[in-house]
Structure 1
Amino acid sequence: MALTDPGTAAPGPGLDRPGRPTAQGWDALWPNGLPRRGRLRIRTLTTLRWVAVAGQTITVLIVGFGLNLPVPFAPCFALIALSAWLNVLVSLASSGQRMATDSEASAHIAFDILQLSGLLYLTGGVINPFSLLLIGPAVLAATALPLRHTILLCLLAIAASVALTVQAMPLPTLDAEPFNPPIMTRIGIVVARVLGISFTAAYAWFAAQEGARMELALDTVHTVLAREQRLSALGALAAAAAHELGTPLATMSIVAKEMARVAPEGQMKEDADLLVAQAERCRDILRRLTKSPDQADVVHERMSLLQVVQESIAPHARRPDVRVEALVSGPLDEPPPEIWRLPEVLHALTAFVDNAVDFAKSEILVTARFDAKQIIIEVRDDGPGFAPEVLVKLGEPYVTSRPAPESLRSGHVGMGLGFFIAKTLLERTGAAVDFRNDRRGGAVVTARWRRDAIEAEPEREPFSGLDAEGVDATE
């Protein structure tokens, strides 16, 4: 069944184009093209350093007094005291709750690398087992700082590892002769440290980056839902307004009737009668607004399957370059069920149709099928289909294969959030969403619900003794 809607709507903001900064706002919020990760508080940096100070102090005491190894106590405790002094100075100079700038956090982490390197220099260099701790500051930088700062700090940690291989004091041992491993062993140790710093920091960077991108995508979903909730709240606001307007309108109606009763024949009488008629009309409008939800307008509370698919294709119904059709199929002896009007479903289907319009050759078909157990809505186009590398990741945020905007019918280049948001919205309603390519060509998006999950309850018939307004019809 083809839809021939009388109105043609321009492509509006899709699901990945909510009422907030997107294409232009993306560049404004994140100039480097990447979402901003969480920054470090001053208290976080000082707390980590206090933990390091405590650990270093305990280690030096155990090695020196517990194991009776020749540890250079004075320079070691001098470096540890330097860290403690810096913490005290930072705590006095600024509030612990303040967020550190990227440069400030980088300076803190660079100091920690150099201080730890100094301790390692005094206690054996890279062959000291605790040289593995140089990975820690690099990982912290990778999870919280921009890429440029992370690379610089990782290079500093790598340079420290290499320098400690070349020059360091002997490792404290019980033997008279200092422990001096072969050169190949030293090379193997430093290579392991360099690879550990590089790969661990890279893993942390990509994990933090993915988390930040997912957080932004979920924030966009919440923005879309919040917008729909505000629209839904307009109904309650209208009912409240109708309730408040009822009393003054009743007074106006009484005064208008009294004016009509005493007004002489002529223009004044006609004006008074018009006031009475318009007051009655206002009362009818307010009465409809204040109906309870189970008495609300069917058009606004529920909709047929045909209405669902027609509304999803309405913006593209009269396109001359692509034909968009909507069909409903099911058992011949059963009418199509009505479902609750869910903004999530309408938004998601509209997003799928928008995407199909950009890639279809000449035809898009939106089909709704139903049986006793489930309701299925399918969006199918005759375009090239999903690319294999896109299909395996479809439904995740920031997955897009859109070409240049001038080659698209909608002219829109999204952030790769449309399918992610649409899939998330549909799953909130209990749908199972599937993306695939048809064997004959073209992309297919399918959403399946249990019928009882979205089917609207049958309308209750009024009691036979009362009419629709609750007035006794037998009188």
Structure 2
Amino acid sequence: MPQEQAPVPGTDKRQAIESARTDTTRGAGIRSMQQLIQLRWIAIVGQLATIAFVHFVLGIHLPLVSMLTVAGGLAAFNLASLVFWRPRQEVGDAVLLVALLVDVAALTAQLHLSGGITNPFVFLYLLQVALGAVLLPAWAGRVVVAASCVGVLYLVASPGPVTLAADPARGIADPYVQGLLACFLLTTVLAAVFIGRIARILRDRDARLADLRQQAVEEEHIVRMGLLASGAAHELGTPLATLSVLLGDWRRMEPFTSHPDLQQDLDEMQTQLVRCKSIVTGILQSAGDARGEAPAHTTLAVFLDELVSEWSATRPVETLDYRRELDADVPIVSDSGLKQMINNILDNALEASPQWVGLDVTREGEDGEVLRLKVSDSGTGFTAGTLADFGKPYNSSKGRPGGGLGLFLSLNVARSLGGRLAASNRVPNGASVVLELPLASLALPGDTAGENDLDDADDE
């Protein structure tokens, strides 16, 4: 029987990013349709006001029934569009093209009934062309241009029931000149407002897609790092075991047995070796090649206390100012990825400030649904460039190869859990890194953040 093919690392993440890209494009389409609907309502009101002014004030007799029928049909189309598209999230280019072509057809009909090519509002075709150029791809924009040209040629070739006289020599007193001014004002205002809005929608979409593309690149980078780390962890198993055996032999040999200082050095070496084994085990567990147990069920307070105790015991920190202020404890599921993320942040603070590291843990939000960890140090702080590119790979001021990966990995783990990671400088010196995670992402299956709270008798 054929063997099942193993999933490619990162495939699910790439599929999620592609889905987010599609959702972003759809969101821009529906927002553009909403702008067209709003613009069409303004056009209908403007048509009715212009028809009434020309017919009753200027005394130019227009075919009111036919023109009101066109305006009523356009209003019915706009109402149907509003009802149909409001609950939906997807609007494609073809739909936007059809909507613009309906607007071009309605404009052509109204102009044909009210003076044809002699109507000064003929320049409203330019607004339709501009909207098509902004909203649609190149091929669809050319369709709108072609439709507008056909409309103008139709007005030239087929005079309507009304002919408007023009006498530009009269200046502002001439109705044609007045119409030109009104058309110019209307076109410029609508173009500035609505095309500006649409352009902003498209810029937001492009910015979102750029962020997603950057995230995809970072995820691919993490996948490659994970493969390399997993391979290195497998290879490190044998030399670590050999070192453990050698240390055990040295404990029983001269001159180590007769020198307490050497025995103390061996104890320290053994402690660091155990730590290396623990790191290798964590890498293999995270890669799905577990040497230990599955992610453990524990509580938030117990998890944090054990993490802090282990970290302070294996790092040369002089003072760890640990403050846990939780109103109530909650059950969570801990895994090596979550633990390593917090350790990475603490390690960075320790490297900047070996004398003092602060860790403040609180629950934020109305119902305490957000876990907030603030890691502080008393070092020199982040540079402006490091803060601007915070979370990017190899963004480090330490000047060594591979620097800056700890915070990069921590940021991506936080993002995968629905959280966020932010950095800032402290006054007068030092830096702070704040990690915020929704407790729902750490909760036991079937639990929600805030439920099944446990009494935390040992809060500090």
Q: TM-score when scaled to structure 2?
A: 0.40
Q: TM-score when scaled to structure 1?
A: 0.39
- Structure (1 or 2) with the greater helix fraction: 2
